[in-house]
Structure 1
Amino acid sequence: MSERVVPPTARQRRRPTKQGVVLSEELIVGTALRLIEEHGADALSVRRLGRALGADPSSLYRYFRHTDDLMLAVADELIGRTLRTWRPTGDWVADLRDLGLRMHAGALAHPRAATLAAHRVTGRAHEIRAVESILGVLRRAGFPDREAVRIYHAFVDQALAFGALDSAGTALPRAAREAETQVWRTTYGRLPAETHPHIAATARHLVATMRVSSYPAALDLFLTAARTHLGQLRARTGASRPH
């Protein structure tokens, strides 16, 4: 796509495409997300997307200025899908844990798109809602503004990083994934205690845990540290409860 810009008022297509559907931003983003999962980043060519929609590729300019604009919309849609299923309860640790796990699960549900989107800042509606919601959870918990931003930053980066890491793993061919799993059993699980005492002592745990994501454990460690940090902040300021 080029940098051509169509005014928002002119973006709505009134006639159905060749497949009998009326184009919308939601339809285009959903189709792009599906194509990315099927074919990778190259699926975001205007020609392939137009063909999948049964539309003239030039009609996509009514909604997106260029390919990167569409990629940002896809990234924002991933955020939106996570937020639609998240219901805060008022328990800040439980709420962030639930959100983090949902973010991670969302990435694994769309691994190729998640890998492409993890490092992007969309500035769009779903991302803005996520930033506002997470900061609200932290500020209501009692974190001062500067600390709320620090915790927010670390929380989101951790979730996105693990999502991208684990998504890349799921994108490997099945044979490659199985071969890597076997390495823990056939290589690390058989190293002798005489030469590798620490690996030998923990081998059964390595075999059991290294095959799955460490994100839940990392998230729990992070939240435990954040809760301890909040307690220290309250002790310094004499605060007894969230403000």
Structure 2
Amino acid sequence: MTTKRVVPETARRRRRPTKQGQVLTHRLIVETALRMLREHGAAGLTARRLGLALGADASTVYRYFRGMDDLVLAIADEVFANAMADWRPTGHWRADLRDLGLRIHHAYLAHPQAALLTASRVTGRPNEVASDETILGILRGAGFADADAVRIYHAFIDQSLAFAILDAATLALPAPAREADEEVWRDTYARLPARTHPNIAATAPLLVARMNNSAYPTALDMLLSSASAQLTT
């Protein structure tokens, strides 16, 4: 019996230009998938539609990825690459962690539909691993014991991803629905009488001013303050 020859991954990849004159690459497919998610949402990201957008047959995608879920994990790793691009440590652990948290949050919000699809995934891909190594290195370098470093890292990364999903869900809403939600604070909460809702009425101007903005920077500062207090005790 003849043993079936295994075709190396590099040999499976398309080197001829597509109908649009592009030579397909891993990065081009991921970038095109991100654009499709932005324009059509997760339901619009299929191998057939991706192939059409690339000017190639749908089967071409599988020369680069084991399946659509493999592509989703690659998209998630690309978001981490965007977050870490050109980042440089200052040597001040709290400032560095704050900057990284805001970068991760911002990178996901730049692609809201992708955030909803990928922020809950663990990829084990190079950019995700590199960011985790960096965060843990900052914490251990600041003097946290390993158990504390892992505990704070866990809270830090889950907090950034949870807020990314929450805030991305708002951005992904159709514009009329998002605008209607934003107006509720002014049109409903700000009009509640002090007789029935004394606490809301007393804080209504502050609620109107804050509640349509992300609470992530505040939550991040609270987490870092808690960690800092532990380090100094």
Counterpart of 1:238 in structure 2 is none
CA distance in 1, matches of 2:7, 2:171: 38
Counterpart residue type for residue 208 of structure 2: V
CA distance in 2, matches of 1:6, 1:191: 69
Counterpart of 1:176 in structure 2 is 177
Where 2:104 maps in the other structure, the secondary structure is helix
Q: What aligned pairs does 1:175-194 form with structure 2 within 5 A after superposition?
A: 175-194=176-195
Counterpart of 2:117 in structure 1 is 116
Task: Tell me if 1:201 matches 2:202.
Answer: yes
Q: What aligned pairs does 1:1-243 form with structure 2 within 5 A after superposition?
A: 7-232=8-233
Q: CA deviation at 1:54?
A: 0.7
Counterpart residue type for residue 148 of structure 1: A
Bigger mean CA offset, 78-87 vs 173-182 = 173-182
Change (3 A) 1:102 1:6: farther
Counterpart residue type for residue 163 of structure 2: F
1:186-223 CA-to-partner distances (Å, cap 9, x unmatched) read: 21112121221111111110111011111111111111
Contact 1:6 1:61 in 2 (8 A): no
Aligned length: 228
CA distance in 1, matches of 2:148, 2:159: 16
Q: CA deviation at 1:8?
A: 2.3
Q: TM-score, normalised by structure 2?
A: 0.94
Q: CA deviation at 1:16?
A: 1.2
Counterpart residue type for residue 126 of structure 2: A
Change (3 A) 1:6 1:215: farther
Contact 1:49 1:57 in 2 (8 A): yes
The structure 1 segments of at least 4 consecutive aligned residues displaced by more than 4 Å after TM superposition are none
CA distance in 2, matches of 1:72, 1:6: 23
Q: Which runs of 5+ in 1 are unaligned?
A: 233-243
Change (3 A) 1:122 1:6: farther
Contact 1:51 1:57 in 2 (8 A): yes
1:50-104 CA-to-partner distances (Å, cap 9, x unmatched) read: 1111112212221101110000000100010110032211111001111111111
Where 1:138 maps in the other structure, the secondary structure is helix
Counterpart of 1:241 in structure 2 is none
- Over the aligned positions, Cα root-mean-square deviation in angstroms equals 1.3
Q: Which runs of 5+ in 2 are unaligned?
A: 1-5
Q: TM-score, normalised by structure 1?
A: 0.90
Change (3 A) 1:31 1:6: farther
